[in-house]
Structure formats: C-alpha cells, structure tokens
Amino acid sequence: MAEKDLLGRAGEDRAARYLQSLGYVVLDRNWRCAAGEIDLVVARANELVIVEVKTRRSERFGHPFEAIGAAKRVRLWRLSVAWTAQHRKQARGRHVRIDAIGVTGANPETAILEHLEDVDVV
C-alpha cells in the first residue's frame, strides 16, 4: 500500500474513534458502489451521517476541507441515497446529513482533527 494510502487509512481510523467517542456507531467503512466511495457511515439515535475524511500531512497545499468542493458534496449526497437504498433497515427513521472530518499532521494519532457537521451541498 502506498504511503499516502496508509496515511489516509490512519486518518479514517482516527476519525472513526473520534466519532465513537461522541456516541456514534460505525455502520460502514469504505463503502463502494458504481458512483464512488463513502469513507464512513455512522449513526446515533435518529441521525445517519455520511462522513468524508480528508487527511493531510500539512496545509502546505491547502486545508483538507478545500478538497471537498461542490462537485464532491453533490457526489456525497448521491452516495448517501445509494447507501440508504441498500441499507433501508439501518436508515429507516433517521435524518441523513453529510459531515467532513479533516486530519492535519504527519502523525494522525496526534494530528489536529476538525469536524464540520452538516456540510452544505452548494
């Protein structure tokens, strides 16, 4: 596995642990379909959250959230529809939202973690 892929995986692991510490249950990781991939799907009470995780060693080439542009946000909503269609039982009765987590630092375990809830589509 390439070094950047290892860093990304470590960032997703850190994000999953962070969300679990907030009471979320991880329902899916790296879920794929023809339209793309969802990094994390988590749930808590009546919330179902699709989470995009961006991990960077530094902000030298921009903040992690800058990589989540309008097209990516639209794709995440399409992916959320696909995920809920395949997981009706887990999605039933839950409000769906898109969150973003940025992990910035060479060591994901000690890196800065930022969490944006309810990322806007536009």
Average pLDDT over residues 13-36: 97
Look-up of token digits 């794709």: 75
Average pLDDT over residues 33-51: 97
If one compares 114 and 59, the residue with the highest pLDDT of the two is: 114
Q: pLDDT tens for residues 65-107? A: 999 999 999 999 999 999 999 999 999 999 999 999 999 998 8
Domain boundaries, the chain: 3-116
- pLDDT band at 56; cut points 50, 70, 90: very high
- pLDDT band at 122; cut points 50, 70, 90: low
SS3 21: helix
| pTM score of the predicted model | 0.94
Using alpha carbons only, give the angle 54, 80, 46 rounded to the nearest 5 degrees.
Answer: 100
Give the pLDDT confidence score for residue 8 in this predicted structure. Answer: 87
Using alpha carbons only, give the angle 114, 12, 61 rounded to the nearest 5 degrees.
Answer: 60
Give the pLDDT confidence score for residue 121 in this predicted structure. Answer: 60
Q: Which CATH number describes the domain made up of 3-116?
A: 3.40.1350.10
